[in-house]
Amino acid sequence: MILLLMAMACNPDDKDGTHVDGNITPPTSDSDDTQPADDTQVTDDTQVTDTEVTDTEVTDTAPVDTGPLGPLPLCINEFMPDNAAALVLESGDAPDWIELHNPTDADVDLDGWTLGDDASEDGYDLPGVLSVPAGGFLLLYADDLASEGPEHLGFRLSADGGDVALFAPDGRGQVVSYGNIEVDFSAARVTDCCEGAACWDFDFRGSPGASNVPPVVVTEELLSGGSVWRYEDSNTALADNWKSSAYDDSGWDAGAAPLGYGDSHQVTAVASGPSSNRIPTVYFRGDFEVADPLAVTALSLGLMIDDGAAVWLNGEEAIRLNLPDGALTHDTYALDAVSDPAEYTFYSYPVDVGLLVAGENTLAVEVHQAAPTSSDLTFDLSVTVEVEETP
């Protein structure tokens, strides 16, 4: 069956005026045709079949208002009238839901707004404590359990079809009429608050409280290989706080990576000690910036290490390579010697994004030799993140 979904913009003096926002085809249905809303005029050449809707036209009722009132600052962006398992609350309930979106650059206070399940203005009075943030979304539960909190509405939606109606305090409104929608499918604007004939579609499980436009994953390198690092190569055991972001490393030397000794690919030479008694551990510190850690969905460190290393991010151990378990000391040796090509190759390691902080993030790395007679040491590191961006 084909379902006709209509979004109608209303003005205060023309409650029966309609404007078609678009036709959408449901994934399945259980009857042979859908009757249009009473105030919708369909021309005689409208064909409704079990495969397509053809030549559909809805005429506008002439408005009686003397001038346009302008668009609403909000829209009914998505709704699910038959939720079984797509969204389950902590209580175990699976309420139907309605999502409002505010595409403007100012918060919208919902005091005086109504939301209902028919085309009249006599809908449910939204609590004045609610607002929709600028550019944001508000998820409301159509469960007829208003006593449960301000996000719970005093009505339910019908899975067999009906209306969702939003009215502003000045009487301007938006009404979406819909037919039967399958369980756990939402009716969603294909782009947030879009308008027009192709605006509506169905989405299995929906995207409650979030944009209807799938985010694009962007890979960003926050710290490249070959960056400048501060290092300490005096063959001195450091106090444990050297790993913390607050540690003062202003007295350390600095140089571009790769750092180390004994190989031609290295850019900055660090002290090695005598050939029979190499410095067992050299320490490195560096920083990178993260604007919004919550937007980061994946974090990885690229490491070029000879022989073993432990990496600390903001004071927490993030990676341990080729080193024994337990406490590490200045005299701890790596488990195995590393040779080419591994000693000049970057290997990527995933890291918990929960270790990131907003602003400056501090890396502290200790690189350990495998033996007192090791001929070389190498260190370089890069930082890469994946960030979800809305197109």
CATH at residue 342: 2.60.120.260
344 and 242 co-located in one domain: yes
By DSSP bridging, strand 162-167 and strand 173-178 are antiparallel
Number of domains comprising the chain:
2
**Distance between CA atoms of 153 and 96, rounded to whole angstroms?**
10
**Residue 312 DSSP SS3:** strand
User: What is the pLDDT at residue 321?
Assistant: 97
Residue 22 gets the label, from left (phi > 0), alpha (psi -120 to 50) or beta, of: left
Q: Do residues 118 and 218 lie in contact, with contact meaning Cβ atoms separated by under 8 Å?
A: no
User: What is the pLDDT at residue 198?
Assistant: 82
196 and 248 co-located in one domain: no
203 and 304 co-located in one domain: no
- C-alpha angle 268-269-274 in degrees, rounded to nearest 5: 170
**Residue 146 DSSP SS3:** helix
Q: How far apart are the first and last CA of the chain?
A: 33
**AA letter at 153:** L
DSSP 366-386: EEE-SSTT---EEEEEEEEEE
Structural domain of residue 249, as residue ranges?
Answer: 219-389
**Distance between CA atoms of 378 and 361, rounded to whole angstroms?**
23
139 and 258 co-located in one domain: no
- On the CB side of 171, CA atoms within 13 Å amount to 9
172 and 256 co-located in one domain: no
**Distance between CA atoms of 123 and 295, rounded to whole angstroms?**
37
21 and 169 co-located in one domain: yes
Q: Is the pTM of this model over 0.75?
A: no
**Backbone phi, then psi, for 147, in 5-degree steps?**
-70, -15
142 and 3 co-located in one domain: yes
Look at residues 173, 190, 212 and tell me which one is the last residue of a structural domain.
Answer: 212
User: What is the pLDDT at residue 357?
Assistant: 98
254 and 208 co-located in one domain: no
**Distance between CA atoms of 232 and 34, rounded to whole angstroms?**
76
88 and 13 co-located in one domain: yes
Look at residues 193, 212, 231 and tell me which one is the last residue of a structural domain.
Answer: 212
334 and 269 co-located in one domain: yes
Q: Do residues 372 and 334 lie in contact, with contact meaning Cβ atoms separated by under 8 Å?
A: no
Closest CA to 305 of 357, 256, 265, 343: 343
User: What is the pLDDT at residue 6?
Assistant: 43
195 and 231 co-located in one domain: no
**Residue 243 DSSP SS3:** helix
111 and 240 co-located in one domain: no
Q: Which residue has the tokens 């159509």?
A: 142
Print pLDDT tens along the chain (391 aa).
334 444 444 443 443 433 334 333 334 434 333 333 333 333 333 232 222 222 222 222 211 222 233 578 999 999 999 999 999 999 999 999 999 999 999 999 999 999 999 888 789 999 999 999 999 999 999 999 999 999 999 999 999 999 999 999 998 888 888 999 999 999 999 999 988 778 899 999 999 999 999 888 999 999 999 999 999 999 999 999 999 999 999 999 999 999 999 999 999 999 999 999 999 999 999 999 999 999 999 999 999 999 999 999 999 999 999 999 999 999 999 999 999 899 999 999 999 999 999 999 999 999 999 999 999 999 999 999 999 876 6
Look at residues 179, 212, 245 and tell me which one is the last residue of a structural domain.
Answer: 212
User: What is the pLDDT at residue 105?
Assistant: 95
**Distance between CA atoms of 76 and 22, rounded to whole angstroms?**
14
